[in-house]
Amino acid sequence: MNEIWLTKEQAAAWVRLAAVVELLPNVLDSQLRRDADLTNFEYYVLAMLSEAPQKTLRMTALAAQTNATLPRLSHVVRRLEERKMVERFPCPEDGRATNARLTLDGWHKVEQTAPGHVANVRKHVIDALTPEQIAQLTEITEGILHRLDPDGAMTAMYYRHDD
């Protein structure tokens, strides 16, 4: 057999992973839009700020944590600013940089939104798996992440829940 082609077992695994990668974002986005009037990415930005010290990050750090380009992030943060969930201000340590901070309204939005989001993640992913499969999924995605992010640019993001 030519090594360029996937085996039957490899193809079966690949098409299932591709389907999950395609379907899951829409499932997450639909629930957040319906229940919180947020896109999945907007919620992700709010969540990253909610976990940061003083609920504040430099825009460049926030872009790195969310794997977003600065123009995309700026556009989303502007929309969140218009809704009074985020505010931007010059970085005190470096006047050339801009910080983004979660406002009290933004914090309340995260508090209100998180339970429904977690329930949706649980319903569509976590509860579909046994505890052994959860461990296997962690191991499998670890291997893939090492290939997708060989420099570890997002390492802190995907290790933040480890012991």
142 falls within a domain: no
pLDDT in tens, 68-109: 999 999 999 999 999 999 999 999 988 889 999 999 999 999
The residues, ordered by sequence, that sit 6+ positions from 136 with a Cβ below 8 Å of its Cβ are: none
Give the C-alpha separation, 104 to 83, whole Å.
12
In a domain, 2, yes or no: no
Question: Does any domain span residue 133?
Answer: no
List per-residue pLDDT tens for the chain, 163 residues long.
568 999 999 999 999 999 999 999 999 999 999 999 999 999 999 999 999 999 999 999 999 999 999 999 999 999 999 999 999 999 998 888 999 999 999 999 999 999 999 999 999 999 999 999 999 999 999 999 999 988 888 777 777 778 7
Secondary structure of residue 127 in the 3-state scheme: helix
72 falls within a domain? yes
Q: At 47, which CATH number?
A: 1.10.10.10
Q: Is residue 21 part of a domain?
A: yes
DSSP states along 53-112: GGGEEEHHHHHHHHT--HHHHHHHHHHHHHTTSEEEEE-SS-TTSEEEEE-HHHHHHHHH
Tell whether 143 is covered by a domain: no
Residues with Cβ within 8 Å of 27's Cβ and at least 6 positions away in sequence, in order, are 120, 124
Q: How many domains does the chain have?
A: 1
Q: Is residue 1 part of a domain?
A: no
* Of 132, 119, 148, residue with least CA distance to 17: 148
Which residues constitute the domain of residue 48?
9-128
